[in-house]
Amino acid sequence: MRLLKFIARRGLYAVSGPERTEPYDGMGAGPRSADYISLAPGGKTPRRLVYSMETVGDQPSLRLEVTPAHAGIMYPIDETPVPVPGTQYIRTRVATVKGSYAKANVPFIHFNQTTAGQPVPKQNQNQFIGDSHGIANILRGDPKKQPPAQESDKGHLHITGPEFGFILEGQMEFKIGALPTFVADQCDIVYAPAKAWHRVRFAGEGMATRLAIVGYANSHVFQTPEELAGQ
C-alpha cells in the first residue's frame, strides 16, 4: 500500500492510471512552458491503485516525492520488478478493496492555476491531501497583512510525528525550538522534529506559500492563552 504525493520542480511528467494518462508540468500555460517550474503540480495516488510515472519531453525532470514510512510498494502480478539487492519479491493476493479519489482528494492540483483564482473544485481548497496516513496543507498569505510577531509565541508542535514544509512561493520565517530564527526561500525544505515547537510566518515582500506535511490530522498542540500573553 502506498500513498504518493509529488511536487514537480522541473521538467514534464506523464502519470498513468486506470482512468487516464496526463502530462503534468508546473506552468499555467501548459506542458510546453516547462522551462521554469513554479513548484506544482502535486498528486496523491490512493492505496492499491496501479499507476506509473515517467519523464517525458526534452528536459530532465526533478520532483519531491513523499510516501509514509514503511509503506510497501506493490506491483501487478504480470510485472517483473527491477531487482533490488537484499529484496525478494513474492507473488501474493490481497484484499480487493482499493483507495479512491474523493471530495477531499483529487489527482492533480496546479499551483499557478490555483493562485490565479481557478482552483480545481474540491472539498478543502487549503488542503492538498487529506488521508489517514498523510496530511498536506497549503498555507499561503501576504506578509504585510499578518499581525506583528510575539516573542512569547512558540507556534505549535506535533506529538504524533514531525512536520516538514516545502516552500512553494516567496519566503517563510521559521522559529524552531531554541534554534535561531531563519528565513527559508522558494524550493527550500524545512523540518521540525516531533514535539519540537515551531512558529512559521510569511516573510519577504510578496505572497508566500508553503506545503506543510504531517502524518496525522488534528495533531497540533498549542500554547495556552496565558502563556502566549507572557503570564
Secondary structure letter of residue 214 according to DSSP = E
* Residue, of 24 and 175, whose pLDDT is higher: 175
Instruction: Give the count of beta carbons closer than 10 Å to the beta carbon of residue 89.
Output: 14
The residues, any chain, with a CB within 8 Å of residue 139's CB and separated by 6 or more, are 126, 200, 209, 210, 211, 212
| pLDDT mean across residues, the chain | 77
Confidence of residue 210 (pLDDT cuts 50, 70, 90): very high
Q: Which of 74-78, 113-117, 128-132, 183-187 has the highest mean pLDDT?
A: 183-187
* pTM as predicted: 0.75
Lowest mean pLDDT of 8-17, 47-56, 64-73, 213-222, name the range. 8-17
- pLDDT per position as a tens digit, 168-182: 899 999 999 999 999
155 Rama class: left (phi>0) / alpha (psi -120 to 50) / beta: left
Helices (H) and strands (E) in the chain, counts: 2, 16
- Cell 477531499 -> residue: 104
Query: How many Cβ atoms are within 10 Å of 95's Cβ, its own excluded?
Result: 6
Q: Give the domain CATH number at 216.
A: 2.60.120.10
Spatial separation of the C-alpha atoms in residues 157 and 220, rounded to whole Å: 6
CB of 225 within 8 A of CB of 152? no
46 shares a domain with 96: yes
Contact by Cβ (8 Å): 215, 68 = yes
How far apart are alpha carbons 43 and 217 in whole angstroms?
19
> Minimal CA–CA distance to 168: which of 41, 39, 62, 63?
39
For residues 153 and 50, state if they share a domain. Answer: no
Does residue 50 sit within a domain?
Answer: yes
Kindly state whether residues 89 and 166 are assigned to the same domain: no
Is the predicted pLDDT of residue 24 greater than 60, yes or no?
no
> In terms of domains, do 140 and 105 share one?
no
**118 in the same domain as 201:** no
| 127 domain-assigned | no
Determine the average pLDDT of the residues in 144-163: 93
The string of pLDDT tens digits covering residues 34-80 is: 222 223 333 445 666 667 777 877 878 777 778 777 777 777 777 88
Highest-confidence segment of 54-68, 93-107, 117-131, 203-217: 203-217
Cβ burial, residue 128 (10 Å; 0-12/13-18/19+): buried
Residue in 220, 120, 206, 118 with CA at minimum distance from that of residue 167: 206
Name the least confident of 91-100, 170-179, 202-211: 91-100
Domain boundary among 75, 93, 122: 122
Domain ends where: 97, 122, 147?
A: 122
| 6 inside domain | yes
**Residues 109 and 23 grouped into a single domain:** yes
Residues 118 and 13 in one domain: yes
Measured CA to CA, the distance from residue 54 to residue 65 in angstroms comes to 13
Do 109 and 6 belong together in one domain?
A: yes
Q: Is residue 44 in a domain?
A: yes
pLDDT at 123 over 70: yes
Beta strands at 62-66 and 52-56: parallel, antiparallel or unpaired: unpaired
What's the domain count of the chain?
2
Which residues, at least 6 apart from 152, have a Cβ–Cβ distance to it below 8 Å?
A: 223, 227, 228, 229, 230
Cell of 179: 534554534
Is there a single domain that holds both residue 42 and residue 140? no
> Is residue 136 domain-shared with residue 200, that is, in the same domain?
yes
Q: Verify that 116 and 137 share a domain, yes or no.
A: no
Q: Say yes or no to pLDDT of 107 above 80.
A: no
In this structure, the answer to whether residues 117 and 178 fall within a common structural domain is: no
Element (H, E) at 112: helix 111-115
Q: Which domain holds residue 202?
A: 132-228
- Is the model more confident about 13 or about 97? 97
More confident residue, 152 or 42: 152
